[in-house]
Amino acid sequence: MKPGDWAAWLAFAALVPLGAILMSCFVKIVVVLSVLRGAFSRPVAIPASVITALALLLTLFVMAPVSEKVWQAAAPGLARGDAASLAQAAELGREPVREFLASHVPDRERQSFLELARRLRPPVDRAAIGDRDLLVLAPAFVIAELRAAFQVGFLLLLPFLVLELVVASLLTALGMHSLDARSVALPFKLLLFVLADGWHLLARGLIESYG
């Protein structure tokens, strides 16, 4: 390989993980699962490594159709391996990603970042920027995913907060001020989550949000 080809490969390898994190459902899933982990008030109950691994597994499940399209489009260029072929592979491979992002970016975020992207350019270059450019779709998608993750997180935290308040009120009424309400409420939180089949409902809900 030529030195330029090696540089192209290194740049390609460095950008792929970043794109896989930011331009996939990983952000939303890992934030929701992290909020759930914090809702138990005892983070050790769910190790961080398990949260990250589960988020990655669900991401691979959701993104499998998009990944297959990207691979089919980019495989010929990757097989040749030279800088020009890598550039062509990146160009072809980003189309399925663009379709995925465009289908999950609300109009509000899309128009907001389109306006900001054009405002940062000279007037003569503003017309060249469209609402389907990755420059616009990528940050709009991440912001929309974070907003949706916080909405889901609120719905997850609410029943746990109510349960914690009930336990704290009971402990106060019984005069057991020395007991930590969060520690006492933890078994009941686990029981509530198991009885509601929380893992299945949460995983199914996250996956179906990209259907």
Domain boundaries, the chain: 3-208
Cβ-based neighbour number of residue 25 at 10 Å: 24
pLDDT tens digits, one per residue of 134-193: 889 999 999 999 999 999 999 999 999 999 999 999 988 888 878 888 888 888 898 999
Nearest to 187 by CA among 165, 210, 164: 164
- What is d(CA 60, CA 55) in angstroms, rounded to the nearest whole number? 9
| Maximum Cα interatomic distance, the chain, rounded to a whole number of Å | 77
* Mean pLDDT over each residue of the chain, to the nearest integer: 84
* pLDDT digits 0-9 by tens, 65-76: 998 888 887 776
Instruction: Say what the pLDDT of residue 65 is.
Output: 92
Quote the pTM value. Answer: 0.85
Is the distance from CB of 40 to CB of 160 less than 8 angstroms?
yes
Residue 62's pLDDT is 94
- pLDDT at 11 exceeding the cut of 70: no
Both tokens of 169, joined, read 């009120």
44-88 pLDDT, tens per residue?
Answer: 668 889 999 999 999 999 999 998 888 887 776 666 656 666 667
Of 26-35, 52-61, 112-121, 172-181, the poorest mean pLDDT is in: 172-181
The token duo for 36 is 């759930």
